[in-house]
Structure 1
């Protein structure tokens, strides 16, 4: 009899019922509840991730969920899903078979609770790149972990290094980019002998790297960068024969490269930049597998080994700012696709190697500030991959290969301060990506080609101190992105093109010491971004256009020309004392060093001028009559109150005023300032409180700003700049910090917008440092302003779910209340950063404060703000503006300070003379912080969180009192 025949008839049914009960066993159904709790905690930001997480779907089919052979949850992987929320570890850890939890690259926040210790089955825990707060809890119970990734998640406090003693199975440990408390190199790490990946970058580790690091012989990746490690690189690192990547940059390491380092057969990437390493590079001559070698900003000396020319995998070489001598290996880059070389700021000599772009992959070619000789190899004209070609400050000569002017991807051509000669080729117009053309201090000659205006991406043209001749191209107005134009000290002739007034973004014009004649175009008065205008040493004649009165210049130099007539009243101020010397035909009513105007000055040049003046007078009289009539009509219209439903108020704080109080105060007598985006009015409320109200200007040319200042009803006549308005409201309405300006409310109608802020009686930091109305500020006050402003920026960068990048940090955007407490203001350019890099094709910011990378990259991040803040710190210490004539050609405050800091005897001279001698040493500490903030390479700049910490440590010695007195 068969087995089937012996079974009772009900047996198959019972077996099937048993299997169904197994599938619906309590162990499986119990896992549904914690998963739903996880879904409830996180679904708010990206509900599509959890579409499959329903009761109708088997758990093992949930998105991101993997089950084991028993049907129990073994893995949850929801990385990079744009999730936010607080993790319910009490629920997650009830999944007793959970082996892998991956939630990296999201926006998770809150703290890690002690419930995490119950996830004892976990083998992989990845919570990296989130926005957690607080400390990392004790992890001792997670003894089965092989992978632990918590990097870049904003954890703070002391890390529980002792926990690692129990995590002996770890093969992957990533804790970097967290602001932990300072600690010496954790001895517990040295015992994790199964590690192949160790990432402890930027997590506040001090002291020396222990020799025991050589015990981790399975390591393939070792990253200890951006800490405060000191001492020498341990020789035991030579034991790590499997090491492929060694990152030690941004520490305080000293001594020579350790013996045996060159015996690491698998080393591909080595970066020990920004340390204090000494000695030569001979130890590295046998690292034939290197693809990237970066040792910039050290004190290395000697020659670059000739063997580097035989490295067939080398694609990146960065050795700038050392003391290297000798020549570059002539075969360098001949084998691989070398795409980046920077050996700037050394003492290298000899010719440029001929074949570094033979493979057509060179992107960045930087040989600045050496002693290279000879010419540019002809075949570089075919290097179509080039983005940056910078060889300034050398002894190079000859003509530039013609094809180099028209390379399709080149962003910077920097040949300044050499001995190049020949013309600027007409092919320059084909350089569609060219942003910076830097040719100053050479022997270039010939006329400027008209095709220059076809390179419409140009932002900066610096051709000073050459032998160019002929006229400035009439079509130069086509360069709408142009920010600076330096053509001084050439032999240019002709007139200043009227089209120059169409370069709407330009902030610097220097045409000094040429042979330019004719008149100053009145169109220059429309350049509202213009900050510096130097037309000195030419043959300009006629009167100074009154349109220049509308400009807000920090530098004006019209000396040594043939100008005549009356200097416009708004230019006859102390700030421009000396700006008109060498023009005997000029006169002024109130400038001491200019001859006084007689009653008929500027109006007695013959019958024709008299007739013109008479006609103009009649026209003015007619206009006055018309305006008076118009004002009467408008006054009648203002007798009727504004309808409340014509305006919409959005409040962001509890208010003690009404919209009518604000609107009634928008009058000419309350005007306190004019900016690039609109007028600012002071409003005094009935309760004595004072506010500032900004009216955002129009972008329409049909709106005459001057016509609509007198009343709130007139605000509707102009269509506002909605983009700036939206940016400022969107940013400010969500911010809450004592050092960020408070936006009380916005008031808007269909076509007009007002922003209501707190009022700042002490104006801006720029006002207090650089204007005739400034106050004398002691160092203690300046330090408090620096620290407060830094805390405001720290909040913007690190205190929000997504960083807020200001993009226009400058002293005029740091406002001071009655107690001299600073507020970060003016967010019209701000960007709230998304995951990944932001990109803009317009250089945002103000000349003198703009980070150098803006000139050749579209990436904008927090480090751009850090640079600008570094410039503000320099202003606070030196009392100088970001650009001053005394700095010299092509220098701003950053390059000026750095040049002075090289010599000990001139360091104290940098400090503002109004600062007490007793506190100048303290001011120098802040100047050192400023230099870190303005590092040329963004990655070398500290975060604003680190800047705050450094400023706190640089607190000045206490004086008995702080004196702030009005200058006489």
Structure 2
């Protein structure tokens, strides 16, 4: 009986324990669900579908990105690359005691990381890398179970808690790079992490020497210490790391030779010590036969390239440019694996170009400029369809270029300059659909430029200087709409300069000097609104100088040594230098010290002209009388119409207005000009009602009188054939549909057959450029600078994300950020804007756009502009606001800009505050440094690493000055107050 009782008691106990476990388990699951939903709510702004399954009905372990353990408790959260944005609720995450893995890398998370992270004591895997956090990394010492820690490129600043690593002895993967931490010597705490297999400390402000004891980390497979301030020699201890597959030490200040014993690293596949101060030969690399990528560029290495490199069967990337290497390249180099590129430029190499580097059909770049190579281009490369850059300039190469080279489908650049190549450009060049740059200068090329070159619509630059080319320029050259530079000087070209050249709408430089061109200067060259340099000297051109050239905004003009005659248009004298018109005995000018005075007209001729002038005057009076009568009649018929559409004007209004086009036109006089740009004059118009407007006249040539007062119709002002106005159309298309408080308001456009006016709201404080950099400069306190940055950012955010069809501005700069009477910013000048067409991916546009100093680096090699290009330009504006400096200053160095200067100074100085404009108050300098960090993100070299404008706005919100915390900055809508509104 007792045994039965005892047995029943046991069963009851088991039942109760099981029931209790199920209750607790159910409770635990319920608690974890609530914690995850709280985590989700903090990221409510994220535009992602990953949270669709995160609800009260879906089983917890079926949540997207969630992995449970055998107890059906949350073990892993895997949400990397899910477009998450917002701040992290670590109080809820770390309350999940079963959580071992948290992977949130490559999102758009922001804000600071709280000390509550230290409560995640069960974590073994933590990835917060590639986000946009601010502030410092909290103490990590309690996370003693961590094996994987990735915080790279996350925006953290300040001092990293290196002492925390003493407790993280289980770490096998540590990635902290690409964060602007405070400068520190190599952290010795790293040397105790005996299980490390991967260490990434690139670009996190480490200085001093690499310790010899680095060799004790015997399990290391990847060691990356690049882009820091390391000095001294590469320690011999590195040679003990026999498991290394990747060793990257580039962009430091390391000196000496490669350490003896480096040949021990037989598993090394990637070796990069570029941009240091290393010297000596490469004998220690002879045995590293598993190398796939070898980067030694920008050092002082010398000697010959080891013959063994020609037997490296895995080598795909080889870059040794800017060293002192001599001798020949191994003939078999690059012939074994799927070789991708070689760059041996700027050395003293001799011999022939190795013939088989494209043997596997994967080679993309052949860069061998500035050496002493001889022979010709190997025929094998004529079939290398993967090739996109071919640069062998400044060598002693000769012979004919293999025919197939001209038509390679992916080749974007052909650079054969400064050699002894001969022969003709192949007619098959018309098949080169990707060719953007054709550089053949200083060779012995001859024959005609093939007409098929007009089919290469991707061409941006043609440079054929100093060859033996002859014949005429193809009349179809006008089809090259992207062509920005045409340099054909010092050849034997002849015939007329084709009129169609005026259709190359992107041209900014033409040099046809030193040829045999004849005939007249084409009138249509005056339609090239982007042209700023024109040199057609030393030819046989005749006739008068076209008046249309007066409309060009030239910085250089040279028409010397031709057979031109007649009067030089007065506007051209203003941009000419001494000798611009020399050698043309028939030319004259009024008031020029270099040209003879134009002869007075004869008495008879004067009488004829006087009669003609009288006739014209009578005709004008009659025309005005008729126009006035018509105007009065129409006014009586319809006095209630706000915009009278008499005459030949066409008015398109985008807001309710109460002023006539007459009131606008009558105000366009020289004394009302407040600005001049590449697309036209800007006038200030004071309305009768007391309001003010700004009016842009989109010009093609200057009116003789400088005024529009004399005619309601401008048909006599501009040539009728020039009726297409791409900038005008772009600006009207872009602005007419935009409604945002931080985008300048376009009230209406007024156009005739030949003239266009854009009527905007007037911005009394001019541009941000004026207030920062000119004689109109004023002292701007930090709160105003912040509001300018935030307002401009919200305007760009609206363009990129708030419009039905996103708008790329493509010319973001401080000159195009206008300031109202309260210093509130508005984006302006949409002459280069591109509205992304419905149904098309918002990726890029090939049209050349932008301003020097603001143009993103990818434009230099892709000729594409994307929304990330706008973001780069905005980052430059932020740097202007913080530093007070212009985008390009002599102090930055030759060919350097503010982005280079800021990035470089931040790496080389302990205190970023030294970069801040001295006029900013001391108590605001820390906030200014935070904005500079945002600017760094915006100007990252790789577009993919730049935040979206939506993210930029969030980042700026997080650094709002305390003095503005009670000020509400609106994020949308439009100020509906219009001048003279009904």
Q: Tell me the residue number matched to 1:202.
A: 203
Mapped to 2, the partners of 1:796 and 1:76 lie a distance apart of 33
User: Is 1:668 matched with 2:668?
Assistant: yes
Q: Deviations over 1:345-400 (max 9, x none)?
A: 11111111122222222110001111111111122212121111110111111111
Shift of 1:97: 0.7
Mapped to 2, the partners of 1:947 and 1:432 lie a distance apart of 44
Q: Secondary structure at the match of 1:570?
A: helix
Q: Tell me the residue number matched to 1:189.
A: 190
> Measured at CA, do residues 858 and 510 of structure 1 come closer, stay the same or move farther in structure 2, by a change above 3 Å?
closer
Q: Tell me the residue number matched to 1:680.
A: 682
Q: Deviations over 1:478-533 (max 9, x none)?
A: 11111110111001110000111111111111100101000001011111111111
Q: Deviations over 1:111-135 (max 9, x none)?
A: 1111111111111111111111111
Q: Is the 8 A contact 1:381 1:407 kept in 2?
A: yes
> Measured at CA, do residues 486 and 616 of structure 1 come closer, stay the same or move farther in structure 2, by a change above 3 Å?
farther
> Measured at CA, do residues 294 and 128 of structure 1 come closer, stay the same or move farther in structure 2, by a change above 3 Å?
same
Q: Is the 8 A contact 1:662 1:683 kept in 2?
A: no
Shift of 1:42: 1.1
User: Is 1:246 matched with 2:247?
Assistant: yes
Q: Tell me the residue number matched to 1:97.
A: 98
Q: Secondary structure at the match of 2:132?
A: coil
> Measured at CA, do residues 115 and 763 of structure 1 come closer, stay the same or move farther in structure 2, by a change above 3 Å?
closer
> Measured at CA, do residues 31 and 185 of structure 1 come closer, stay the same or move farther in structure 2, by a change above 3 Å?
same
Mapped to 1, the partners of 2:288 and 2:631 lie a distance apart of 82
Paired residue for 1:843, among 832, 835, 848? 848
Mapped to 1, the partners of 2:641 and 2:745 lie a distance apart of 21
Mapped to 1, the partners of 2:875 and 2:90 lie a distance apart of 42
Q: Deviations over 1:136-159 (max 9, x none)?
A: 111111111111111111111111
User: Is 1:130 matched with 2:135?
Assistant: no
Q: Is the 8 A contact 2:906 2:912 kept in 1?
A: no
> Measured at CA, do residues 55 and 602 of structure 1 come closer, stay the same or move farther in structure 2, by a change above 3 Å?
farther
> Measured at CA, do residues 59 and 510 of structure 1 come closer, stay the same or move farther in structure 2, by a change above 3 Å?
same
Shift of 1:723: 5.2
Shift of 1:25: 2.8
Q: Tell me the residue number matched to 2:181.
A: 180
Q: Tell me the residue number matched to 1:545.
A: 546
Paired residue for 1:930, among 891, 896, 900? 896
Q: Name which of structure 1's ranges 382-391 and 614-623 shifts more when overlaid on structure 2.
A: 614-623
Shift of 1:181: 1.7
Q: Name which of structure 1's ranges 65-74 and 858-867 shifts more when overlaid on structure 2.
A: 858-867
Q: Secondary structure at the match of 1:573?
A: helix
User: Is 1:508 matched with 2:474?
Assistant: no
Mapped to 1, the partners of 2:523 and 2:379 lie a distance apart of 45
Aligned residues, how many? 862
Mapped to 2, the partners of 1:300 and 1:729 lie a distance apart of 60
Q: Tell me the residue number matched to 1:419.
A: 420
Shift of 1:813: 6.5
Q: Tell me the residue number matched to 1:524.
A: 525
Q: Secondary structure at the match of 2:496?
A: coil
Q: Secondary structure at the match of 2:862?
A: coil
Q: Deviations over 1:748-780 (max 9, x none)?
A: 689997655745669968999xxxxx9899xxx
Mapped to 2, the partners of 1:95 and 1:7 lie a distance apart of 37
Q: Deviations over 1:729-766 (max 9, x none)?
A: 999969xxxxxxx7565546899976557456699689
Q: Is the 8 A contact 1:460 1:485 kept in 2?
A: yes
> Measured at CA, do residues 454 and 574 of structure 1 come closer, stay the same or move farther in structure 2, by a change above 3 Å?
closer
Shift of 1:675: 3.6
> Measured at CA, do residues 372 and 720 of structure 1 come closer, stay the same or move farther in structure 2, by a change above 3 Å?
closer
Q: Is the 8 A contact 1:929 1:950 kept in 2?
A: no
Q: TM-score, normalised by structure 2?
A: 0.76
Mapped to 1, the partners of 2:346 and 2:680 lie a distance apart of 44
Q: Tell me the residue number matched to 2:925.
A: none
- Superposition pairs of residues 687-836 of structure 1, within 5 angstroms: 693=694, 695=696, 724=731, 747=747, 756=761, 758-759=763-764, 808=811
Q: Is the 8 A contact 1:572 1:590 kept in 2?
A: no
Mapped to 1, the partners of 2:483 and 2:47 lie a distance apart of 42
Uncovered stretches (5+) of structure 1, i.e. residues with no partner? 651-657, 700-704, 735-741, 769-773, 883-922, 936-940, 959-968
> Measured at CA, do residues 220 and 614 of structure 1 come closer, stay the same or move farther in structure 2, by a change above 3 Å?
farther
Q: Secondary structure at the match of 2:50?
A: helix
Q: Secondary structure at the match of 2:331?
A: coil
> Measured at CA, do residues 93 and 602 of structure 1 come closer, stay the same or move farther in structure 2, by a change above 3 Å?
farther
Q: Is the 8 A contact 2:668 2:708 kept in 1?
A: no
Q: Name which of structure 1's ranges 40-49 and 283-292 shifts more when overlaid on structure 2.
A: 40-49
> Measured at CA, do residues 634 and 578 of structure 1 come closer, stay the same or move farther in structure 2, by a change above 3 Å?
farther
Mapped to 2, the partners of 1:30 and 1:677 lie a distance apart of 64
Mapped to 2, the partners of 1:130 and 1:539 lie a distance apart of 63
> Measured at CA, do residues 951 and 196 of structure 1 come closer, stay the same or move farther in structure 2, by a change above 3 Å?
closer
> Measured at CA, do residues 17 and 264 of structure 1 come closer, stay the same or move farther in structure 2, by a change above 3 Å?
closer
CA RMSD across the alignment: 5.3
Q: Secondary structure at the match of 1:541?
A: strand
Structure with more relative contact order (C-alpha pairs < 8 Å, separation 6 or more): 2
> Measured at CA, do residues 24 and 171 of structure 1 come closer, stay the same or move farther in structure 2, by a change above 3 Å?
closer
> Measured at CA, do residues 426 and 842 of structure 1 come closer, stay the same or move farther in structure 2, by a change above 3 Å?
same
Uncovered stretches (5+) of structure 2, i.e. residues with no partner? 645-650, 701-705, 716-723, 752-756, 802-806, 920-982
Mapped to 1, the partners of 2:97 and 2:768 lie a distance apart of 62
Q: Name which of structure 1's ranges 663-672 and 539-548 shifts more when overlaid on structure 2.
A: 663-672
Mapped to 1, the partners of 2:13 and 2:916 lie a distance apart of 84
Q: Tell me the residue number matched to 1:642.
A: 642
Q: Is the 8 A contact 1:720 1:753 kept in 2?
A: no
- Superposition pairs of residues 225-240 of structure 1, within 5 angstroms: 225-240=226-241
Shift of 1:618: 6.6
Q: Tell me the residue number matched to 1:349.
A: 350
User: Is 1:140 matched with 2:123?
Assistant: no
Q: Secondary structure at the match of 1:91?
A: helix
Mapped to 2, the partners of 1:603 and 1:209 lie a distance apart of 92
Mapped to 1, the partners of 2:660 and 2:910 lie a distance apart of 43
Shift of 1:425: 1.5
User: Is 1:29 matched with 2:34?
Assistant: no
> Measured at CA, do residues 828 and 286 of structure 1 come closer, stay the same or move farther in structure 2, by a change above 3 Å?
farther
Q: Tell me the residue number matched to 2:150.
A: 149
- Superposition pairs of residues 353-752 of structure 1, within 5 angstroms: 353-573=354-574, 575-600=576-601, 626=623, 629-630=626-627, 642=642, 667-669=667-669, 670-676=672-678, 680-682=682-684, 693=694, 695=696, 724=731, 747=747
Q: Tell me the residue number matched to 1:920.
A: none
> Measured at CA, do residues 663 and 942 of structure 1 come closer, stay the same or move farther in structure 2, by a change above 3 Å?
farther
Q: Is the 8 A contact 1:765 1:814 kept in 2?
A: no
> Measured at CA, do residues 253 and 806 of structure 1 come closer, stay the same or move farther in structure 2, by a change above 3 Å?
farther
Q: Is the 8 A contact 2:306 2:330 kept in 1?
A: yes
> Measured at CA, do residues 417 and 598 of structure 1 come closer, stay the same or move farther in structure 2, by a change above 3 Å?
same
> Measured at CA, do residues 434 and 236 of structure 1 come closer, stay the same or move farther in structure 2, by a change above 3 Å?
same
Mapped to 2, the partners of 1:472 and 1:356 lie a distance apart of 36
Q: Is the 8 A contact 1:807 1:864 kept in 2?
A: no
Q: Deviations over 1:647-674 (max 9, x none)?
A: 6679xxxxxxx99899977841334334
Mapped to 1, the partners of 2:448 and 2:911 lie a distance apart of 51
Q: Deviations over 1:229-264 (max 9, x none)?
A: 222221211111111111111222222122222221
